[in-house]
Amino acid sequence: MTTDLLFQPFQLNGLQIPNRITVAPMSRASATLAGVPSNAMADYYERFARGGFGLIISEGLYTDQLFSQAYPHQPGIVTDAQINGWRRLNEIVNTHGSIFIAQLMHAGALSQHLTHTAAPSAVQPMGQKLKSYGGGDGAFPLPAAMSPEDIAHAVAGYVHAARNAMLAGFKGVEIHAANGYLPDQFLTPYTNLRTDQYGGTVPNRMRFIAEIIAAVRKEVPAGFIVGLRISEGKVNNFSYRWPGGADTARAVLTEVQKVSPDYVHVSAEGGSWATTGFYDSGESLTGMTKRIVDVPVIANGGLEDTAVAGRVLEEGHADFISLGKGALANPDWPHKVRSGQALLPFDRSMAVPFPPLN
């Protein structure tokens, strides 16, 4: 295996991406309390752009001011001040030739700081809040079951956020439907007990995600990227896997194919691509995604290992890799790999959120 493919450019929805190396979205809890990007965030994203990453996906940006915010100091893409703040960061990132994508995130039941939350069903979330993200301790609040009007409001929030992301200079958005947040709560049987058109079958549980993508598509130009992130594991349930294994994966991906996002980003929450991304048939979830959805695929999970990263691309499992821990340890990972420099190991302290500077 070689790393040659990592450095080949790629056309994504008509946009030239300099290479196949992506910064994964990572929550940093470093915006102001008003959700405006801070100087610390500008420095954080510029390091990756200067370090040679072709594609950078932002941390999750909340999409409305009702139920979507996950934690204090989370950035949003709702207000004029937030839009202007992200416009400044886009100008910095674009200077270095990287492509910047905004991840749009709705926490649903997994908000760390809201006292009243909303979700597909009134189901107590698993796990505990995270002190490091301002959630204090103890259980998450019991969410209210969303009404049809609540669902329509959430979808409209994604549309408004996508329009704002475009105004801020982002080249696209990624719909965060992974890791246990609101779209994933609709997809997951134990958090979605609905008996209406949003519950029960896989097509019904995928309906919310399909509506978001379709609604966003209508509001943005054809050349604006609309991606989708999916996962099996969740931030509050790392070991979760879809019941039915490969059969459920095929059913989910068949629905994804119908709405045809510009890419699918497969997250290995709670594990590594090489150890948790395969079914008994020997096919990886990323490879199955590429085969069924027939759009570019981004693989995630333990891909700072260059041998594994090379395998993902050479064997055709995915078209891009995304790095979280590897990028935190080596913001210049692409430059180091290309020049044969040693990579620094990841230390857990690197993932601790840093406080906003202003």
Which token pair is 74?
Answer: 């989370």
Within 10 angstroms of residue 96's Cβ, the number of other Cβ atoms is 17
Q: How large is the greatest C-alpha to C-alpha distance in the chain, in angstroms? A: 56
> What does the alpha-carbon distance between residue 137 and residue 43 come to, in Å, rounded to a whole number?
30
Rg (CA), the chain: 19
Alpha-helical runs (H) found in 19-69: 39-50
Is the separation of the CB atoms in 157 and 208 below 8 Å?
A: no
Residue 181 a catalytic site member: yes
Exposed/middle/buried for residue 9 (C-beta within 10 Å: 0-12, 13-18, 19+): exposed
Q: What is the DSSP string of 281-324?
A: TS-BHHHHHHHHH-S-EEEESSTTSHHHHHHHHHTTS-SEEEES
Q: Of 62, 181, 240, 263, which residue is the catalytic one? A: 181
- Using an 8 Å Cβ cutoff, are 109 and 140 in contact? yes
Which tokens hold the place of 52?
């040679």
Residue owning tokens 């309906």: 207
Exposed, middle or buried: residue 252 (CB in 10 Å: 0-12, 13-18, 19+)?
A: buried
The residues with which 21 forms a beta bridge, in sequence order, are 321
- Are 133 and 127 spatial neighbours (Cβ–Cβ below 8 Å)? no
Task: Give the DSSP H or E segment for 186.
Answer: helix 182-187
Rounded distance, CA 249 to CA 243, Å?
Answer: 9
Q: Which residues are catalytic?
A: 181
